[in-house]
Structure 1
Amino acid sequence: MTTPGPVPPPTHTPTHAAAPAPTPARATTHTARAHSFNAAAAQYAAGRPSYPPALFDAIGELAGRPLAGARVADIGAGTGIATARLHARGADVIAVEPGAGMAAEFRRTRADVPIVRGSGNALPLADHCADLLTYAQAWHWTDPARAVPEALRVLRPGGALALWWNTDALDVPWIAASAARVQRHFGLDIAAEKRDVDAGAADPTGRLRFTRREIRWSRRVPLETHLANIGSHSIFLTHGEEHSAAFLAEERRHLLAAFPDGAVEETYDTVLLLATTPTASTASTAPTIPPPPHPPTA
């Protein structure tokens, strides 16, 4: 893969309308949550779940090429949980991560994969250098009005953009009960934030045509790992240590009642959205798509 250096911004002007600017309070909250992981990178790496093999099978299938040998940029790579799986599949991976703390943890544990600082809104990568761009738990921290054109700039013709999230399986009673307790304590439905993932939210401009897959899987972990996983989410990291600790202490009591042996069975539905870019021949004959008539409201 082309190693990044300072890359000039795209010379073309995006043909879609920009999304309305968020209110200052909402933007501040979103920014604070996005940067909160840097102070808890080790906890994030230790507690967060990985992803099932079937996810990477689906990515290869929908992208129309195997991961082995593919030039992949993993954006918002964090501590490298997804990056390591892509690398293990034989992909030629480079990681892109905006946060200093997360990047430092990545370098400590993933020395075999290069990482550069940058974000999806302004990728530090050359034009048309990647077969695949991946965002694991990261696309919602971007501004799609900027991140979509950047993805199209960096992907080669016929390349693919893959976005995915581990979402809680709310049809499992104990998981639904836990999500409800989080909502009551913090006043925010985190499960809904993850559930409400669709193509319209991922790309309000409609320039990309996503295919959606859901893959259910589970892992069995010690109670303390499960609590570390919960506590590594941005809503906990931004609400103050005392407020979060009070919830986790009460949650430990609930979970020990459900799992008296201290081993928690976490169940996830991994949601995958994948879109491919036109091939060179298709792009040369495709009609021009006009911009949407109104700014997107998502």
Structure 2
Amino acid sequence: MTAPSHTERARSFDAAAAQYAANRPSYPPALFDAIEDLAGRPLTGARVVDVGAGTGIATALLRERGADVLAVEPGDGMAAQFRRSHPDLTIVRGNGNALPLATASADFVTYAQAWHWTDPAHSAPEALRVLRPGGSLALWWNSSPLDIPWQAAQAGRIDRRFGAHPVVEQGGSGARAAMADPTGRLTFTRRKVRWSRRVPIDTHLANLGSHSIFLVHGPQASNAFFAEEKQILLRAFPDGFIEETYDVDLLVANTP
């Protein structure tokens, strides 16, 4: 099978938007504490543009934090699910490479699990254009730490069948791409925030299945893997629940 393109992987989420909304992990309050600390200003009352908002997981949390938040999302299916899940939040269609926003109109530009789908040669200058003086660009990923034995073992099984574990790969490659800033104007500070959630094994597998690496391989290959994986996990966790541990990999750069 030919390896799926970056564009094919980016577009794969639209068909799985409901699965994404129902099973993807959220983000801990400590993440937003860290964003405020690194930015040197509160989110409360700030104008925040959440780019690649998907189904609105981060957008809703930013609003709960007191931000005046606008979501930007390119995908048809994801935007439709966003509107179903968060009818009271504002979303516009667009992507980070060409933001449909006025210059110097935001205090924060945020990317939750989304920067790696952009072309930093375009998205970095666009973020700088939209940010006000003293504004902040915040990028983060829920990554799967491999010092947890069962997570390391699962990552190995995924790698052998499909390639790099998506929750391991996204945080590493996304952060590296961001820190290699093509504009030379962004100086990122990096911080990691560890947290966990306890979920049924079926939720864990549905979360995994909402990642592009599985979506682009089609249901036959993915479902066969998940059937095997469920039996492995049930042997390790016979009560049917699993503790997923995440390191949120956060990067924040402040404009002059």
What is the TM-score when the length of structure 1 is the normalising length? Answer: 0.82
Asked whether 1:236 is paired with 2:214, we answer yes
Q: Secondary structure at the match of 2:49?
A: strand
Q: Secondary structure at the match of 1:196?
A: helix
- Structure-2 residue corresponding to 1:124: 100
Contact map agreement 2:46 2:68 (CA 8 A) in 1: yes
- Provide the C-alpha distance between the structure 1 equivalents of 2:189 and 2:158, rounded to a whole number of angstroms: 31
1:259 maps to which of 233, 237, 249: 237
Asked whether 1:34 is paired with 2:10, we answer yes
Following TM superposition, by how much is the alpha carbon of 1:240 offset from its aligned partner in structure 2, in angstroms?
A: 1.1
Larger C-alpha radius of gyration, 1 or 2?
1
Asked whether 1:174 is paired with 2:150, we answer yes
Following TM superposition, by how much is the alpha carbon of 1:62 offset from its aligned partner in structure 2, in angstroms?
A: 0.9
1:90 maps to which of 48, 57, 66: 66
2:224 maps to which of 237, 246, 250: 246
Asked whether 1:224 is paired with 2:209, we answer no
- Provide the C-alpha distance between the structure 1 equivalents of 2:118 and 2:73, rounded to a whole number of angstroms: 12
- Provide the C-alpha distance between the structure 1 equivalents of 2:192 and 2:58, rounded to a whole number of angstroms: 17
Contact map agreement 1:70 1:92 (CA 8 A) in 2: yes
Change (3 A) 1:98 1:261: same
Gaps of 5+ in 2: none
Amino acid at match of 2:135: G
Q: How does 1:1-298 map to 2 (within 5 A)?
A: 29-197=5-173, 200-204=176-180, 205=182, 206-278=184-256
Gaps of 5+ in 1: 1-24, 279-298
Amino acid at match of 2:50: D
Contact map agreement 1:179 1:191 (CA 8 A) in 2: no
Following TM superposition, by how much is the alpha carbon of 1:187 offset from its aligned partner in structure 2, in angstroms?
A: 3.2
- Provide the C-alpha distance between the structure 1 equivalents of 2:166 and 2:9, rounded to a whole number of angstroms: 12
Following TM superposition, by how much is the alpha carbon of 1:266 offset from its aligned partner in structure 2, in angstroms?
A: 0.2
Q: How many residue pairs were aligned? A: 253
Following TM superposition, by how much is the alpha carbon of 1:38 offset from its aligned partner in structure 2, in angstroms?
A: 0.2
- Provide the C-alpha distance between the structure 2 equivalents of 1:151 and 1:260, rounded to a whole number of angstroms: 47
Contact map agreement 2:141 2:171 (CA 8 A) in 1: no
Following TM superposition, by how much is the alpha carbon of 1:190 offset from its aligned partner in structure 2, in angstroms?
A: 3.1
Contact map agreement 1:222 1:262 (CA 8 A) in 2: yes
Following TM superposition, by how much is the alpha carbon of 1:61 offset from its aligned partner in structure 2, in angstroms?
A: 1.0
Contact map agreement 2:142 2:167 (CA 8 A) in 1: no
Contact map agreement 1:211 1:273 (CA 8 A) in 2: yes
- Provide the C-alpha distance between the structure 1 equivalents of 2:6 and 2:160, rounded to a whole number of angstroms: 20
Amino acid at match of 1:253: Q
Following TM superposition, by how much is the alpha carbon of 1:192 offset from its aligned partner in structure 2, in angstroms?
A: 4.6
Contact map agreement 2:38 2:252 (CA 8 A) in 1: yes
Q: Secondary structure at the match of 2:5?
A: helix
Contact map agreement 1:215 1:270 (CA 8 A) in 2: yes
- Provide the C-alpha distance between the structure 1 equivalents of 2:7 and 2:149, rounded to a whole number of angstroms: 33
What is the TM-score when the length of structure 2 is the normalising length? Answer: 0.95
- Structure-2 residue corresponding to 1:4: none
Amino acid at match of 1:129: S
- Provide the C-alpha distance between the structure 1 equivalents of 2:71 and 2:115, rounded to a whole number of angstroms: 14
What are the superposed Cα offsets for residues 243-288 of structure 1, whole Å, 9 maximum, x if unpaired?
000110001011101111011100000000000000xxxxxxxxxx
Contact map agreement 1:80 1:106 (CA 8 A) in 2: yes
Amino acid at match of 1:95: A
